Amino acid sequence: YEQELSLRLRRGLEGLRGIRVLGHPGAEKVGVVSFVPAFMDPGQLADQLASAGFALRAGLHCAPSIHQWLGTLHSGACRASVGIYNTEQEVDQLLEAVDRALGQR
């Protein structure tokens, strides 16, 4: 179930303009998706999403070396996760909130 939600989240983010999803396609098997908004600071996006009721984390996530390798050391990334307690509707609501936030830049 978590893999299905993660895949829904990953594919939904990949479909949004201005979002770069990080990680290998095999990462779809885990419930964590990291992404970088192209035109907004990840911390700012996480803060906006928090005010809409979503708890994301932003920054380097204790992994500056991988961010240097990915070319995101200057910005970091947003990280969202899903679990057994989440629903498809909640994933869709998060995707809509990200899309709205990016449209407000």
Catalytic residues: 62
The DSSP result for 85-102, as a single string, is: T--HHHHHHHHHHHHHHH
Q: If DSSP codes are grouped into helix, strand and coil, which group holds residue 71?
A: coil
Backbone angles phi, psi at 52, to 5 degrees: -95, 5
Rounded to whole angstroms, how far apart are CA atoms 22 and 40? 16
The CA distance from 4 to 70, in Å, is 26
Residues contacting residue 3 through CB under 8 Å, at least 6 positions apart? 28, 29, 31
